[in-house]
Amino acid sequence: MSLARSKAAIVGVGELAPIRRTVGESTLGMLARCAALALTDSGLEKAEIDGLLVGPQVGETPQHVPATMAEYLGLMPTMSNVVDLGGASGLGMIWRAAAAIEAGMCEAVLCVIGNHRNSDAPRSPNRNPIREFDVPFGASGANVAYALLKQAHMAQYGSTDADFALIAHWARANAQLTPEAIFYGQPASVDEILASPMIAAPLHKFEIVMPVAGAEAVIVTSAKRAKDRGMTAVHLLGAGEKITHRAVSQAPDLTSGPLKPSMARAFAQSGTRVQDMSLLSLYDCYTVMVATTLEDSGICPPGGFGAFMRDHDFGPAGRYPMNSNGGQLGFGQPDLAGGMVHVVDAVHQLRGTATGRQIQGAELALVTGNGATMSEAVALVLGADV
Amino acid sequence: MTNLTDINVPGPTTIPLTEPFWDAAAEGRFILQLCGGCQQHVFYPREICPHCWSGDLHWVPASGQGTLKSFTIVHRPGHPGWMAVTPYTVGLVALAEGPTMLSHILGDAPQVGQAVGFAPTNIGGRVLPCFRIITSQTTPKGDLA
Ligand SMILES: [Zn+2]
């Protein structure tokens, strides 16, 4: 079933365990280790990799990123590019890889993204509108933007702090099934989440991801090659993308985002509905991002995420397993690779290799990525090789 | 308690295109770009109108009135220079002319939907276009200290 509708096959994944700090690492080196894990996982030969998609590497390699990465890995790709969509970058790579293969530009694409967290990590030097018109008023960083989004949701719908805390609670609960997760061994109750320090009201500390070093790699090839070679595949069945703004002040809507049309397109392309999903692998930089994504997906009405969260079990055995590795709220956010964490977890679930947290009979997954201030969105529907 | 005037924080990174906006605010005036092509106001300042791509943008006096679309009370700021004045409020102001602007919000107990008014305020040695919550008892007034 999946093969006929497949746009491309994911045949290998690699992941470096999240770590709070690194010493003396290079991002290039971490990405290379992660790429090697994905290649081994795929069973492909290095010489077969002829496409390369990478993320931005702030500070270390500001320009010529694909050439620098290709040279480091000893690759000479016939298609390469940077995908710069914040937390949606990893997902944006997957459909771009499929499109490049379909266009005849290459046959096997390495998609790799990650970052070190050395103490000397450079901050990005901005001189663009968000720097000129937001920062001078005390609005540096993403916390302020997502606090504004959460406050807007609470004001519009009467959603409560406890509703949002349930999202973080489930992330921590699922992280207990994932030994690599940064919050493994640290579950958190709703009360503990609400008692965590106020960062930017109404945002509490435990509603915000922990920044970590890490890397994620995915190898995409054609469904035909995957089948001919007898590879274990997960299929890309549908994708959608939308970019609406950069600064939160320019957002067309504070309680619904560009994931709404992105998910609609991914469902339409794949002929699926959100209710068909075995796994919801939803980008969760902040609790409010999950709340808005649930509502934008149509699984609950606008303003209805709190009741939906209270009514369901989001563990691997529940009706709607969500972020089964803990998501970024439980696993950690490896910088711009955050979106790819959700892809890699979905791939494990759909090929039955999610050891210790496997969803029985997992066939379909919705994966979402989000960048900047609910600005950059990519949604994917992935299917098992059945 | 540290005054906003005394904090050491990053100011606006102006370019010639945007200087009139900041200069006006420093003189206690609030101005916006108006598009001659589609008659819509534009914020932040641009070289072409984002609605119709006309290059016919000119500065006009604006009302300085708006409503609070959302707000956050910042306890752990992203820039360390702001720590001395925490907690402070940042909000999204839906300007009466149409565009939304992020700004520093003065006044107690903000609520979404409240009216706010232009309140030029000295932050770190520069007078910036902040906004103050309007209650029945107050008229918006800057803190030019
Ligand atoms: Zn216009």
ipTM for the predicted complex: 0.93
> What does the alpha-carbon distance between residue A217 and residue A70 come to, in Å, rounded to a whole number?
14
> What does the alpha-carbon distance between residue A38 and residue A29 come to, in Å, rounded to a whole number?
14
Q: What is the mean pLDDT of residues B25-29?
A: 97
Tens-digit pLDDT profile for residues A83-124? 999 999 999 999 999 999 999 999 999 999 999 999 876 666
What residues form DSSP beta bridges with A208?
A: A286
- With cut-offs at 50, 70 and 90, classify the pLDDT of residue A290: very high
User: Total structural domains in chain B?
Assistant: 1
| Interface check B44 vs A, CB under 8 A | yes
**What pLDDT, on the 0 to 100 scale, is given for residue A64?**
96
Residues of A in contact with B41 (CB under 8 A): none
Give me the torsion for CA of A75, A79, A80, A86, rounded to 10°.
-140
Interacting residues of A198 by C-beta distance below 8 A, sequence separation 6+: A204, A205, B73, B75
For chain B, the straight-line distance linking the first and the last C-alpha, in angstroms and rounded, comes to 15
Does B142 fall in a domain? no
The answer to whether A148 and B92 are in contact (CB under 8 A) is: yes
Q: What is the mean pLDDT of residues A304-327?
A: 98
Helix/strand number for chain A, H first, E second: 14, 11
Alpha helix segments (H runs only) across chain B? 19-26
pLDDT at B47 over 60: yes
Q: What is the mean pLDDT of residues A187-213?
A: 98
pLDDT at A328 over 50: yes
Distances (CA, A) of A161 to A75, A305, A308: 49, 12, 15
> What does the alpha-carbon distance between residue A242 and residue A290 come to, in Å, rounded to a whole number?
17
The answer to whether A148 and A201 are in contact (CB under 8 A) is: no
The answer to whether B21 and B139 are in contact (CB under 8 A) is: no
pLDDT at A127 over 90: no
Does B71 fall in a domain? yes
> What does the alpha-carbon distance between residue A305 and residue A311 come to, in Å, rounded to a whole number?
10
Select from A134, A139, A199 the Cβ nearest to the Cβ of B76. Answer: A199
Residues of B in contact with A164 (CB under 8 A): none
Cα(A373) to centroid of ligand 1, in Å?
A: 25
When the pLDDT of each residue in chain B is averaged and rounded to a whole number, the result is 94
Does B109 fall in a domain? yes
- With cut-offs at 50, 70 and 90, classify the pLDDT of residue A313: very high
How many C-beta atoms lie closer than 10 Å to residue A243's C-beta? 17
**What pLDDT, on the 0 to 100 scale, is given for residue A60?**
87
Q: Which of B41, B92, B123, B131 to mutate to test the interface with A (most CBs of A within 10 A)?
A: B92
Domain residue limits at B93: 4-133
Q: What is the mean pLDDT of residues B38-51?
A: 97
> What does the alpha-carbon distance between residue A325 and residue A345 come to, in Å, rounded to a whole number?
6
- Residues within 8 A of A (CB atoms), B 92-111 only: 92, 100-104, 111
**What pLDDT, on the 0 to 100 scale, is given for residue B145?**
42
Using beta carbons and an 8 Å cutoff, which residues of A are at the interface with B? Answer: 127, 129, 131-141, 143-144, 147-149, 151-152, 155-156, 197-203, 247-251, 254
Tell me if B79 and A247 make a contact (CB, 8 A cut-off). Answer: no
Tens-digit pLDDT profile for residues B68-91? 999 999 999 999 999 999 999 999
Cα(A228) to centroid of ligand 1, in Å?
A: 55
Does B144 fall in a domain? no
What pTM did the predictor assign?
Answer: 0.96
| B104, closest residue in chain A (CA to CA) | A137
pLDDT at A1 over 50: no
With respect to CATH, is domain A8-118+209-384 assigned 3.30.200.20?
no
Picking from A225, A237, A205, A235, the residue whose alpha carbon sits closest to that of residue A329 is A205
